[in-house]
Amino acid sequence: MKNILIPSDFSIKSLNCIDDLLCTFRNEQLNILLVHTFIMPDSISEIMSLTSRRKKCNFISPEFWNRCTQLEYENAQINSIRFECVYGSTVAVFKQFLEGQHIDLVAYPQQYQFRKLSEWSFDPARLISKSGIEVKMITTIKLEKETGLVSRKEHLIYSLPQN
């Protein structure tokens, strides 16, 4: 069983790499955790209003929810797909989160472009690279055959060097 974290903006597009993961880890059950990171506020009043912002349901559309459910239903290899909002911008907080969730690796779609969900959102790339967790960069390459009528996917997964 692999526990895989994927940075996400909770858009359907952010789920595109799941097919690639299924091909890469063909013989393993997968628990997929989609994560968006937020800065922990500094002021007392902002911290007090954190509860209202913590509702991840505010960020997850019915279409996204339905697509996740569909992926779980269609792929016996997927044990679960969950979503979390991580609050805190330090490596220590992020490492504790990874340990608490028993994350084995982070799958990072190469074409991933961070998109803020709120003014408090931040790109987790720095935390991921400094956390020491194994990172798999996912690249989907489409190759055209000579006729141009048929495309096929090649799945290229490589590990990033640890900092």
What was the pLDDT predicted at 52? 55
Residue 10 structural domain: 2-159
Instruction: Report the CATH number at residue 78.
Output: 3.40.50.620
Q: What is the pLDDT of residues 42-52, one digit of tens each?
A: 777 776 666 65
What was the pLDDT predicted at 118? 85
What was the pLDDT predicted at 119? 85
Cα–Cα distance measured from residue 33 to residue 38, given in angstroms and rounded to the nearest whole number: 16
What was the pLDDT predicted at 156? 39
What was the pLDDT predicted at 150? 34
What was the pLDDT predicted at 56? 54
Close Cβ partners of 152 (under 8 Å, ≥ 6 residues apart): 142, 143, 145
**b/e string for 54-75 if b means 16 or more Cβ within 10 A?**
eeeeebbeeebeebbeebeeee
Q: In the sheet that 134-144 helps form, which strands lie side by side, from edge to edge? A: 78-87, 30-38, 2-7, 105-109, 134-144, 151-159
- Domain tally for the chain? 1
What was the pLDDT predicted at 158? 39
Below-70 pLDDT ranges, the chain: 47-57, 140-163
Question: Is residue 121 classed exposed, middle or buried when 0-12, 13-18 and 19+ CB atoms within 10 A define those classes?
Answer: middle
Q: What is the pLDDT of residues 1-26, one digit of tens each?
A: 999 999 999 999 889 889 889 999 99
What was the pLDDT predicted at 120? 84
